[in-house]
Amino acid sequence: MEQSVVLMIIGGAFVVFSVILFLWGRHERLAYRDQLAQRYDLREFLTNWPPRWWLKTLHLGGTIAIIVGGALLFIGLFIRISD
């Protein structure tokens, strides 16, 4: 298998991985917010204090994965076209 095809496959896998991370992060954020909405004390729900960093890490990981995946796809296509 050519190197350009391998790079495009890896880039596509990163893009799929990033979509999974975005969806998982959205699910976790909504589930946590729904859990807080069921409580009688809504201070934490309204002020978002204390911060929950793990809710943002999935989004950040998805962003990084889509950047890496897009770069790998671009490099694979560039190598493919230049051959």
The number of distinct structural domains making up the chain is: 1
- Cβ-based neighbours of 59, under 8 Å, separated by 6 or more: 21, 22, 25
Q: Please, which pLDDT band fits residue 18 given cuts at 50, 70 and 90? A: very high
The CB density around residue 19, as the number of other CB atoms within 10 Å, is 14
Give the model confidence (pLDDT) of 39-81 as tens digits: 766 676 677 677 777 778 888 888 899 999 999 999 998 888 8
The tokens describing 37, both together, are 């909405």
Q: Exposed, middle or buried by CB within 10 Å (0-12, 13-18, 19+), for 28?
A: middle
The distance from CA 27 to its chain's CA centroid, rounded to whole angstroms, is: 12
Q: Which domain holds residue 59?
A: 3-82
